[in-house]
Amino acid sequence: MYRLSLGESSSSPREAIVAKWLKAEGQVVTAGDSIVRLETGDANLELTSAVAGTVRQIAIREGLACRVGQVLCYVGDPAEPIPAVSPVNDAPTVSARASAQESKETVQTPTTIPEEALMSPDTPSSSSSPSSSPTTGPTGQVIPILMPQAGQSMEEGTVLEWKVAEGDSISEGQVILEIETDKANMDVEAVDSGRLAKIVAQAGAIVEVKVPIAYLADNDADVEAFIAGQGMAPEAPADPSPSVTRDETPVTGAKTASSVRSSGRVKASPAARKLAAQKNIDLNRVSQGSGPGGRVLTTDLASVEAAPGSSVGGQLSKMRRAIARNLLFSKQTIPHFYAKATIEAQRLYETYGRVKSGQFQCTINDFVVAACARSVREFEPFRGQFQADETIKVFPDCNIGLAVGTDEGLTVPVVLHADRLTLDALAAEIRNIVEGARRGKMANVGQGVFTITNLGMFGVESFQAIINPPESAILAVGALREDVKVENGAIKPTRLMALTLSVDHRVIDGVVAARFLARVRELLEAPEQLL
Amino acid sequence: MSTEYDITVIGAGPGGYVAALKAARMGARVAVVEKGHLGGACLNVGCIPSKALLASAELLHKIRAAGSMGVKVHGGIEFDWAKIQKRKDKVIRKLRGGIKGLLGAGDVHLMTGTATFKAAGTLTVTTSEGKEETIHTKNTIIATGSVPARVPGWPTDPQWVCTSDEALHWKALPKRLLIVGGGVIGCEFACMMHEYGVEVHVVEMLDGLLTGMESQLGDALEASFRQRGIRILTSAKVEGMTVGQTDVTVSVSGEAPLAVDKVLVAIGRRPNTEHLGLDAIGLAPDRGFLRVDDRMQTEVAGVYCIGDANGRCLLAHAASAQGEAAVQDALGRGEAFSLPIPSAVYTFPEVAAVGMTTREATEQGIPVKVGQFPIGYLGKAMAVGEEGGFARVVRHRDDNTLLGVHLIGHNATEIIEVATAMLTMKADTQALAKMVFAHPTLGEAVKEAAEDSFEAALHLPPREFAKVVAAVEEVSIQ
């Protein structure tokens, strides 16, 4: 059964009114069918379904308001039972309501282990592990706390901070930890009360959804027995990531045969593997794992000293990994070429000062964005993207991305239709999305055709940027600085600013890039045109 | 000395003094007991002083944008805070004088002091010098209003943490101000203080500004504030504050510690019913509020409560209207009071609303149709350079009854009156759509929005439906 709702996006409204149902209960929906029309008073929306099935229940009738994320209808198999919701006043779901507006939301931990989590621990060693079938059950009651799935796209979450410690009594509804997903940070509430016997995913751990991160039990021994009985790693493994050391080293020392696989890999629980990586411990130095089949557990590592010397970078955040992959891909597959122009920015500086003090809040960068947006509109190749099938696809909209540095790393929120906005609206929008990005809320990510990156505020004079794929160009903006210029043989004090354009030569040729840069210069040197 | 009155009103705010004047006009013997200044919170620490300060701020805002209207201002634009304060004080004094004159002319006996119940119909009035006087009265109208709520545990020194009571009378402006609460008071102060050059941060626990109102209004105001550079943190909570030598450091959820010069707490108001001796007449307030029926009478016959103290609607004009209703009931000519009460927010752009929101209608299961019209499409808006905002009309989807009108834009607080009139007359939304509005006016947006609710706004292109893929989540139903 699927629940359909108005999804969150920066352009979608927070609330809309159900104007008309285009499908009735009992009607069959195929993917792509329009199902309901929503009105906001401003923009009207027609929601289509991405899934096929039968409309089992309409949760909000015509004329009533729905919030982003609130269930509108259920689509499923006619044989499935109908969900028990009041068709008039379905309460908004916590996560959906929250995710529309907040960077932080509260979710609850599911405490039932889905079968697939039990069956496939997804550790590299599990398939051949002799202990993977459940053997002994727990003696006392053990309730696993699972990584919650907040939103259907969430695949894994990072444990940021535990608010409770092992041994604490926790109660239902209490916020017990904070997690980070690819979208937001959120507090996780307990759905059961009890004694927190064991935390298996410490801060920093990346855990798949619905995989245990901690256990409630009265006795610690029960938990160990439970874990051993499930034959399951007490923790989900992290994705392989470039900087995490994995123990692929063949066994050399005195190892007991039982802890070594024929491949030469030390058998260890993922938690132990990670802990070892964090503490820079060579798993080969563990003489005997105490887990089933000699598997090395975290408890076995306590007595092992860290290897001296080399340090291990620790787990990469999801964002860091994405940056690494993207930029490596870009630099390796896109033939970059660069063009630099130093523009005279005296008038730009004065215009900016006048506008800011007398008209509206703005920055120099807003002018740059406006000039680029207009130039991108005029130069079609700058809206082109090189496709895998060796064609170039041109996009109609001048959506401009802005590289924003945050504590976690680089993000590129995007201003949609930047060419259509007046400078004051553009400035406001930029402020909005940049502030949003700094708070973890990304606007229109991935919808850009061109990116601007500005390090001028740090005094950087000029630099060359890496194209943000699948885009074809990026402009690196340097500091607007006082300098001198030679004009007709005379030295004149003025202000200068360097613009360095990086372009994908597969899509944009040198002459086009030069003309584009000249147009940007023309607009910025007479910035009144942008007002 | 002991005197018998038909009606004694406790509190001379916008509820109390209006009730007293009404009672006197109806021929009753009336006393008013007031412990402070005439005019209550509204006149002394509320509506009026804030509007006076906002008026100067708005003028400043306009002058700063004069260039776009082709008006050149030579030299710098400056303001004189002391003078702005003085002007505000003068407005207050003048209005206080006006109330005093009206009460005197109406032959209302004004007593200065605090009143406590001895029994139903017997009150003790204690003057500031400690003199006690017992008065007998057939009816009592409690109109003691409210005070700004504070947060328990936060510093109370007004040098650091204040409420609107103190903030309206600041001798000097802070450089950096944190406003806790994005409701009406928080928004008005944010707007005003930003214009006076104060760095303003607003922290709101809920997910938007002006959350009781139609959500689009708060969203639009938030966008306007952000554009001006006012920092808005929604769904955020102040987790603690530390007073230092020269500033206050505030920790807000998910943010780096923020150092400010002052914190303004604008989280709501608390009823002023603690020292009335209500035990003596067997009345128990509900979280401070005295619950009343639609005639404003409490559970004790002859004892009425109006305005903020009854918690029905914390607005001055609601208090006045309730005051008149209470007097009419006390004098035997009462009827249930159920008129629509408009609300007004004096930010620029202004925000105003009357009637039901979409959300309220949905909660009551009433199907709605909305119409919306951008003010910027109007000739008048362009001509006067005030193009922001919109009018939004909410009507009953099936029977066309006008349910609510929601405005944001220049002069919205004046324009809302037309909607209030229609709603008071229980008009059909067609009547509002058909009504002839003067051209060019900003009020035309209301007509167009009413028309739009029938998809008949002539100045709007027909709306199309943009296709969007619905979010899907797989659920298992047990």
What domains can you pick out in chain B, each with its CATH number?
Answer: 2-148+271-330 (3.50.50.60), 161-267 (3.50.50.60), 349-452 (3.30.390.30)
- Report how far residue A124's alpha carbon sits from residue A265's, in angstroms, rounded to the nearest whole number: 10
- Which chain B residue is nearest to residue A427, measuring alpha carbons? B227
- Does B156 touch chain A if contact means CB atoms closer than 8 Å? no
Q: Do A431 and B219 touch (CB under 8 A)?
A: no
Is A509 marked active-site? Answer: yes
pLDDT attached to residue A296: 75
Least confident of A103-107, A326-330, A526-530, B463-467: A103-107
Edge-to-edge strands of the sheet including B238-243? B238-243, B248-252, B258-260
Residue A255 has pLDDT above 60, yes or no: no
Which chain B residues are closer than 8 Å to A439 by Cβ? 254
Return the percentage of chain B with pLDDT > 70, whole number: 99
pLDDT attached to residue B2: 53
Q: Do B477 and A82 touch (CB under 8 A)?
A: yes
pLDDT attached to residue A151: 61
- Report how far residue B187's alpha carbon sits from residue B209's, in angstroms, rounded to the nearest whole number: 8
Instruction: Categorize the per-residue pLDDT at B258 as very low, low, confident or very high, splitting at 50, 70 and 90.
Output: very high
What residues of B are labeled active site?
A: 439
N- to C-terminal Cα separation, chain B: 76
- Which chain B residue is nearest to residue A65, measuring alpha carbons? B362
Which chain B residues are closer than 8 Å to A84 by Cβ? 477
The tokens describing B269, both together, are: 């108001």
Instruction: Categorize the per-residue pLDDT at A135 as very low, low, confident or very high, splitting at 50, 70 and 90.
Output: very low
Class of domain A2-101: mainly beta
- Report how far residue A221's alpha carbon sits from residue A312's, in angstroms, rounded to the nearest whole number: 32
Instruction: Categorize the per-residue pLDDT at A28 as very low, low, confident or very high, splitting at 50, 70 and 90.
Output: confident
Per-residue pLDDT of A390-406, as tens digits, reads 889 899 889 999 998 87
Per-residue pLDDT of A272-308, as tens digits, reads 777 777 777 777 777 677 766 677 777 777 767 665 5
Instruction: Categorize the per-residue pLDDT at A152 as very low, low, confident or very high, splitting at 50, 70 and 90.
Output: low
- Report how far residue A380's alpha carbon sits from residue A516's, in angstroms, rounded to the nearest whole number: 10
Dihedral sign, Cα of residue B51, residue B53, residue B54, residue B58: positive
pLDDT attached to residue B5: 95
Instruction: Categorize the per-residue pLDDT at A124 as very low, low, confident or very high, splitting at 50, 70 and 90.
Output: very low
CA dihedral in degrees (A433, A438, A441, A445; nearest 10)? 60
Per-residue pLDDT of B274-318, as tens digits, reads 999 999 999 999 999 999 999 999 999 999 999 999 999 999 999
Window 226-285 of B: residues touching A by CB (8 A cutoff) are 226-229, 234-235, 253-254
A104-230 is a CATH 3.90.79.10 domain = no
Q: Do A101 and B363 touch (CB under 8 A)?
A: no
Residue A478 has pLDDT above 70, yes or no: yes
Per-residue pLDDT of B115-141, as tens digits, reads 999 998 999 999 988 899 999 999 999
Instruction: Categorize the per-residue pLDDT at B418 as very low, low, confident or very high, splitting at 50, 70 and 90.
Output: very high
- Does B477 touch chain A if contact means CB atoms closer than 8 Å? yes
Least confident of B15-19, B221-225, B284-288: B284-288
Q: Looking at the predicted complex, does its ipTM rise above 0.85?
A: no
- Does A148 touch chain B if contact means CB atoms closer than 8 Å? no
> Do the domains A104-230 and A2-101 match in fold?
yes
- Does A409 touch chain B if contact means CB atoms closer than 8 Å? no
What is the arithmetic mean of pLDDT over B142-169?
94
Is A417 marked active-site? Answer: no
Residue A250 has pLDDT above 60, yes or no: no
- Does A65 touch chain B if contact means CB atoms closer than 8 Å? yes
What is the arithmetic mean of pLDDT over B247-257?
92
What is the arithmetic mean of pLDDT over B261-277?
95
pLDDT attached to residue A191: 76
pLDDT attached to residue A293: 67
Residue A352 has pLDDT above 80, yes or no: yes
From A434's Cα to the closest Cα of chain B, the distance in A is: 12
Instruction: Categorize the per-residue pLDDT at A340 as very low, low, confident or very high, splitting at 50, 70 and 90.
Output: very high
Window 196-255 of A: residues touching B by CB (8 A cutoff) are none
From A33's Cα to the closest Cα of chain B, the distance in A is: 9
pLDDT attached to residue A298: 74
Residue A262 has pLDDT above 70, yes or no: no
* Higher-scoring residue by pLDDT: B35, B474: B35
- Which chain A residue is nearest to residue B235, measuring alpha carbons? A102
Sorted by where each begins, the domain ranges of chain A are: 2-101, 104-230, 240-316, 333-530
Helix (H, G, I), strand (E, B) or coil at A302: coil
Which CATH architecture is the domain A333-530 placed in?
A: 2-Layer Sandwich (3.30)
Q: Do B370 and A41 touch (CB under 8 A)?
A: yes
pLDDT attached to residue A186: 77
Residue B391 has pLDDT above 70, yes or no: yes
* Higher-scoring residue by pLDDT: A482, A221: A482
pLDDT attached to residue B200: 97
Per-residue pLDDT of B424-433, as tens digits, reads 999 999 999 9
How far is residue A71 from each of residues A15, A102, B362, measured CA to CA in Å? 12, 18, 15
From B464's Cα to the closest Cα of chain A, the distance in A is: 6
Return the DSSP state at A266.
Answer: B
Q: Do A428 and B370 touch (CB under 8 A)?
A: no
Residue A118 has pLDDT above 60, yes or no: no
Window 159-218 of B: residues touching A by CB (8 A cutoff) are 207-208, 215-216
- Long-range CB pairs of A99-102 (<8 Å, 24+ gap) are A99/A8, A99/A68, A99/A69, A99/A150, A99/A151, A99/A183, A99/A184, A100/A8, A100/A14, A100/A67, A100/A68, A100/A69, A100/B207, A101/A14, A101/A68, A101/B207, A101/B208, A101/B234, A101/B235, A102/A184, A102/B207, A102/B234, A102/B235
Residue A132 has pLDDT above 90, yes or no: no
Dihedral sign, Cα of residue B131, residue B132, residue B137, residue B140: positive
Per-residue pLDDT of A157-180, as tens digits, reads 888 888 888 888 888 778 888 888
pLDDT attached to residue A11: 67
- Which chain A residue is nearest to residue B253, measuring alpha carbons? A104
What's the mean pLDDT when you consider all of chain A?
77
- Does A102 touch chain B if contact means CB atoms closer than 8 Å? yes
